[in-house]
Amino acid sequence: MLLTEAHLETPQAFGAAFILGVLVHIFVFRHGEWDLWTVKLIKAWASYEVTVSLFLTQLYSFSVWQALSVTSKWFASFATGITISLLAYRAFFHRLNRFPGPFLARLSAFYPTYLAVDEEHMYLEVQKLHEKYGDIVRIGPTEISIATPSSFRVIHATASPVTKSPFYGISHPWTNLLAERRKRQHANRRKAWDRAFTTKALKDYEHRVLKYTKLLTDRIDDMKGRPFNVSLWVNFYTFDIMGDLAFGKSFNMLENGVEHDFFIESHQTQGFMGAFRRLIWFFPLVAAVPILNNPYLKFQAFIRNQVETRRKNQPQEPDVFTYILEDYDALEKPTEQDYNNLCGDAHLIVIAGSDTTSSSTTCLLHHLALHPDVLAKLRTEIDDYKSTHEESDLISLGKLQYLQACIDESLRLYPVVPSGLPRMTPPKGMDIDGVYIPGDTIVHNPSYTMYRDERCFEKPNEFIPERWTTRPELIKDASVYAPFSTGRGVCAGKQLGLMEMRYVLMDILSRYDIAFAPGTNPQAFIDGLRDCYTLELPKLDMVFTPRAEVKVEG
């Protein structure tokens, strides 16, 4: 009997496709990670459309449009089965349903994405959810936020069974050290980074940090007391340093005062990543679609070019990339993935070492302008230091207790990663604070929320550096405080970032009086902070006036 479209468009046919979709969800998509399969699944769908349509045209004399109509309706029924099964499972049967949270958070990662995109204050949204629902809140289909103080060490300790979440795969196939989810491979690659940040290595970088510190203060001098955008220029400072230490040359933004294309692309990429970081499946799609992927390809091409140029031109003095490159060159037969990892690490050196240090420094200057008593006390310590040291060095500078206390307090109030680092529980699950967390659950310790928790800090919303020095009673539980992370994930470049902050703060505060520029609203700066995984800053205009009344030797 000759088949027609009517024979293949019966309720039975569509019902079979629908049931198949339900079964595929239950037995396939509910297991394992599918976030990076977006392009492969689209190709599989396209192959299905072409293959089955050709079969119908050849075997049953369908026209191309008739065949495509039938196969598209079959697929729509199949996809509907997957979707309804997925939503029903998440709404009523999911393993995380016993945890409180907004109902919409159960259904889709679009809910937390909406919260993240709406005003880009995800860390504040998470804090509100904890205030409403308690210490453990479900903020996504497979994601919970845990704010109990004792949970931090359980999740982030070196011996913790958790792994990094699928979020770290969004830059695939460029897998930098931070994105390496496999513990053994991470430990092996971490060795080169640890060599790059020994005390000896830091001393090799010190004169370069001093060079760019002087360039920054030269730019401040050029402004002669006029409004100076601290957010932008301190970011120029950190980017120029890390460009030197990664690629052997600066981006020259401090000298030119012009944003480098790489600087612009990096911030745009960071903003995009921060907004859509829970829609992991979206990133492979953007990377694969022509026109949409043009900025991404341009960005990658720049980094590859810098890596190749750096490999051909060894610097006279070692930089951070020297140690990463040593490990790569030691490979007998480096694979394409090894090279992708090398490029990813080059990118990581610049990004991880620039935006984080810049935001921390700028936030502290903002606090100091708001608290003249703290500023005066810090200046006294810095002036005393300069009067007894003809030349500064990273060892002695690291012993300035009140300076470090100010840095610690600023990082507590405005942590670099305010929403916390996403981790995934082991397949068998784990107990956290006596609560069983099912396997393959993404868990966060929300830094901003926990650092402002009265169970951990007295007067948690106040800027009081003395809590780290002479008033330890203001700290109830210091175990939650790890602005550079802890365990195997502790920031490799922590000491370099601190060295940059100490030098630039010492130089600025010993030479200038600081104040907000006329017309600047200090609260507008706080309101404009953006949670892009790391903290992104709005404009902050300040005025720097030479300290004519203070004369410091050295």
Binding site as annotated, residues? 491
Q: What backbone torsions phi and psi does residue 241 show, to the nearest 5 degrees?
A: -60, -50
Quick check: 404 and 468 in contact, CB under 8 A?
Answer: yes
Closest CA to 141 of 271, 281, 37, 17: 281
Q: Which residue has the tokens 């294309």?
A: 261
d(CA 462, CA 479): 19
DSSP helix/strand/coil, 536:
strand
Spell out a b/e string for 167-199, using b for 16 or more CB atoms within 10 Å of the CB, else e: bbbbbbebbbbbbbeeeeebeebbebbebbbee
CA 409 to chain centre: 21
Token digits of residue 15: 């019902």
Q: Which amino acid is at 400?
A: L
Beta-bridge mates of residue 145: 137, 444
Do the bridges between strand 442-444 and strand 512-516 make them parallel or antiparallel, or are there none, so unpaired?
unpaired
CA-closest candidate to residue 76, choices 134, 150, 14, 30: 14
- The span from the CA of 320 to the CA of 374, in Å, is 35
Which of 273, 277, 275, 232 has its CA nearest to residue 256?
Answer: 232
Feature table: binding site for heme: 491
Q: Which of 34, 139, 148, 135 is nearest to 96 (CA)?
A: 139
For residues 389 and 383, give the distance between their C-alpha atoms in angstroms, rounded to a whole number: 10
Which residue, 460, 503, 497, 466, is CA-closest to 481?
460
Residues 6+ apart with CB under 8 A from 515: 369, 542, 543, 545
Helix (H) or strand (E) holding 140: strand 136-140
**Cα–Cα distance for residue pair 104/138, rounded to 1 Å:** 10
Q: Is 190 within 8 Å of 517 (Cβ atoms)?
A: no
Separate counts of helices (H) and strands (E) for the chain: 23, 12
On whether the CB atoms of residues 499 and 202 are closer than 8 A, the answer is yes
Surface-to-core class of residue 163, CB atoms within 10 Å of its CB (0-12 exposed, 13-18 middle, 19+ buried)? middle
DSSP string, 139-202: EETTEEEE--TTHHHHHHSTT---EE-GGGGTTTT---TTT---HHHHHHHHHHHHHHTSHHHH
469 C-beta neighbours (distance < 10 Å), count: 14
In whole angstroms, what separates CA 77 from the centre of its chain? 38
